[in-house]
Structure 1
Amino acid sequence: MTRSTTIGRAGGSTPQAWLAGWLRRDIESLLDPLVSALTTAVPEILVAADAPDRHVRDAVRMHLTTLTRCFTPEEPDSEIAMPSLVARYTRALARHDAVALPVLLRSFETLHAALWQHLVTALHTADPRPSAVERAAVMEWAAARLFAYFRTASERTASLYGTELALLERRATSRRTDLVTGLLGGTVDPAAAQRELGYDLGARHVGFVAWTDRGSGPDRLDGAVRTVVEALRPQRRLRVPGDGRSVHGWLVCHGEGWRELAARRSLPPGVHIAWGGPASGYDGFRTTHAEAQEARRVADALGSAGTVLFDDVAVLALATRDDSAATAFVARTLGRLAAGGDEADRLLRTLRVHLAELGSPTRTARRLHVHPNTVVKRMERIESLLGRPVDPADLALRTATELSTMVARPDQAGQVQPETPPSTGSTTPVR
């Protein structure tokens, strides 16, 4: 920088020295107009219960004092050090939800602009008045340092604010999870939990469990759950994290319209949602959750994708509560069709679709992508193996056919993977 005799007489031999001297000398006269400009442009900054103007004034003074030090380095891009008070003040505002982050960032922009205007005025009214070249040198230095300072202040504030909010959210989530765990396990007072959760336990609930396949990101799960829940427009909602790949939730929905909305809502690949049936009161809160857990268990066993409603799989859920009984029922009802092997598997799939299509060879063939005559021949073979005609209204046959994909076949004896036990209202669903 070019040294100037005029700048030297005004308070320093260099632009940065002139700036530091100006701030030290005029800091008291600058405070009131800067505070007025800030509170006029950003009135939301006045949040203190007692003497809010004084709190803003103290904050502005702190920034001016720090800026005085920032104007003294020899290099305009040297590191800016924020005072520790900024961190404490930012965390306190976030913790008490006193001032939103955009308001804080706007206050920095306002203070930056106001301070710049006062600097320009000072350069034109100083005695002696710096020359045009000297004013340009001071303004060039000031522009670089002011920009660096307020950019650093904004970035630091945004980072601290976000970190504090994330910490608060983790604590709140942990507390919600503890309360829900206690509700499911019967270890907390429902009335006290209801007040703290802000969720009406006496209402008519619909519980759900959402989860992702391994390898799918949790962000996709959160976004999918939010989209589905918003589409249902519940009166109240409550959700807690599960095992890292799942979310457990409850909605207060009136009527039965939620069923159709939930069933037809498309989900991203790898994301699944299981729904319990509607149930009322504190007992219903636990019941619909248990049903959602059961629906998930059945969906996992069947390899189903997307959305599953408990009412659609209730028979399968109840029938598979006892694995050995379910296996025996399937073997007894399906006979040689349950023996396994390529032919048996192909015939079972044909039977399953045939029953779902109420015995229509044409619709069955369309779904299986085969000729209707092929379906007729397969059904003749199925009836031969069963030793009786196939009746689409036969509940036992329909149930056994669906169960056949969930139980061990004779050639898999001793290789059955254990099922995940259903929720009993303990801590299992919310960890």
Structure 2
Amino acid sequence: MDSHLSGLISAIAQRMLADEDALVREMDAAAFELVPTLGADAAIAAEVGASNRANLRRFLTVAQHADSPPPVEVPPEALDIARTLVRRGLEFDAIFQGYRAGQQVAWQRWLEAASQVVEPGPEFAAVLEGSLALLFKYVDDVLSRVLAEAQREREEILGGALARRTETVRLILDHAPIDERTASGRLGYELSRRHTAVVLWAEARVPQGALESASELLASAAGARRPLAMVAGTSTLWVWIGTGAEPVIGDLRAAFAQTPTTIRAAVGPTERGILGFRRSHDAALGVHRLLAGHLEGERFATYAELEVTALAAHDERRAAEFVAATLGPLAADEPNAERLRESLRVFLDEADHAPRAAARLHTHRNTVLQRIARATELLGHDVGERRLALALALELAYRLGPRVLVRTT
């Protein structure tokens, strides 16, 4: 490839890189739509996003040196998600389809960027031909290595006790008929007791064993001998704490405060038996979905605290429609609307008490009142009207962010 053509492809890659966040969101959404399983669990969804971002950056780096492309290297994040999907029992086709969905989105955006860099004509056709060859080579090389790693992971898991324990947990969570005593024996965990499920995770990598250590601290605080733990992702651990009585949440919270600040916890309600094992876990996953990716959210949160919001967020598409319909212009995904939303959310949470709201927001009382007045103007009605719906929509926007907000560009 000559230097002129290479320069044009490099310019397109740089334009794409400038819009990285939006492009990754589109790639994620396409993968989740094609393979809903990838978006149904917050831990898997986060790893899909990390893999898409890492692959996009790596490809755009290759494209910026189109005249002499560097060797294709597989990003660690791409291998992480492959291992996670195998551990969760998902088929290799989910990996393949996820890559093809991302590739299609990336190519569409590449075409749009190319049209802004190169005039229509023979040169444009040559640029597209060279670009397409680079993209297909990158995806094919990475995908073949990722699938090979997934196969190695599957062969390793199929070998022993970990496979039996993982399969037993899956059977319980999938509502399969299974004898409680038999399942308890396979798990080494008594299912007839009360269970408090916890999802432990970190938004970034943590030292090996850190999540397991946190689970043991929580179990000790609950008076349990040892927890049942199952790896659910590179930085996510599913935990069940079996006890004779309901643990004191204050004790769990105090114990969790001793863990590294990068670790977070979503805690389900305490319930008995196999049904309780499953229901507590489902509730903890709901809280995890709310908090994952929201770096300013709580480190330790319980289902009891967030039950209404978690239920409303279960169907994100419906939640987004509700937020848009309820908040109107305040649902825009931009800084000014975010500032007004947060002021209004805290104001309502403080029972319309401006001085308390100002203290929480670290601003002046008059500033809060000015923002409430502007928010009221944009809503088109007094904040006291449809108060419950308004408060819920604001909480969903706060917890889920761009996932339920209206993009302005």
Task: Kindly state the Cα deviation for residue 235 of structure 1 after the two structures are TM-superposed.
Answer: 6.2
Contact 2:189 2:228 in 1 (8 A): yes
CA distance in 1, matches of 2:389, 2:167: 42
Counterpart of 1:380 in structure 2 is 373
2:353 counterpart (341, 360, 372) = 360
Decide whether aligned partners of structure 1 residues 256 and 284 sit closer, same or farther in structure 2, where only a CA change above 3 A counts: closer
Counterpart of 2:248 in structure 1 is 258
Decide whether aligned partners of structure 1 residues 323 and 392 sit closer, same or farther in structure 2, where only a CA change above 3 A counts: same
**What are structure 1's unaligned runs of at least 5 residues?**
1-166, 414-431
SS at match of 1:276: strand
Counterpart of 1:326 in structure 2 is 319
Which amino acid in structure 2 is aligned with residue 199 of structure 1? Y
Task: Kindly state the Cα deviation for residue 246 of structure 1 after the two structures are TM-superposed.
Answer: 2.1
SS at match of 1:324: helix
Within 5 Å, give how 1:3-402 maps onto structure 2.
171-185=160-174, 186=176, 188-234=178-224, 237-264=227-254, 265-266=256-257, 267-303=259-295, 304-391=297-384, 394-402=387-395
2:405 counterpart (403, 409, 412) = 409
Which amino acid in structure 2 is aligned with residue 331 of structure 1? A
**What are structure 2's unaligned runs of at least 5 residues?**
1-155
CA distance in 2, matches of 1:383, 1:232: 46
Which amino acid in structure 1 is aligned with residue 315 of structure 2? D
Decide whether aligned partners of structure 1 residues 239 and 411 sit closer, same or farther in structure 2, where only a CA change above 3 A counts: closer
TM-score (norm 1): 0.52
Question: What's the % identity of the aligned pairs?
Answer: 31
CA distance in 2, matches of 1:260, 1:409: 34
Task: Kindly state the Cα deviation for residue 375 of structure 1 after the two structures are TM-superposed.
Answer: 1.0
Contact 1:262 1:307 in 2 (8 A): no
Aligned residue pair count: 245
Contact 1:336 1:386 in 2 (8 A): yes
Task: Kindly state the Cα deviation for residue 174 of structure 1 after the two structures are TM-superposed.
Answer: 4.0
SS at match of 2:227: strand
Instruction: Let me know the Cα RMSD of the aligned residues.
Output: 2.6
CA distance in 1, matches of 2:197, 2:397: 28
SS at match of 1:200: coil
Decide whether aligned partners of structure 1 residues 255 and 354 sit closer, same or farther in structure 2, where only a CA change above 3 A counts: farther
**Segment drifting more, 360-369 vs 254-263:** 254-263
SS at match of 2:185: helix
TM-score (norm 2): 0.54
Contact 1:392 1:398 in 2 (8 A): no
Which amino acid in structure 1 is aligned with residue 406 of structure 2? P
CA distance in 2, matches of 1:257, 1:333: 38
Greater Rg over alpha carbons, structure: 1
CA distance in 2, matches of 1:395, 1:263: 29
Decide whether aligned partners of structure 1 residues 339 and 391 sit closer, same or farther in structure 2, where only a CA change above 3 A counts: same
Decide whether aligned partners of structure 1 residues 182 and 319 sit closer, same or farther in structure 2, where only a CA change above 3 A counts: same
Task: Kindly state the Cα deviation for residue 344 of structure 1 after the two structures are TM-superposed.
Answer: 1.2
CA distance in 1, matches of 2:215, 2:226: 15
CA distance in 2, matches of 1:195, 1:353: 49
Give a deviation string over 1:366-391, Cα, whole Å, max 9, x none: 11111111111111222222222223
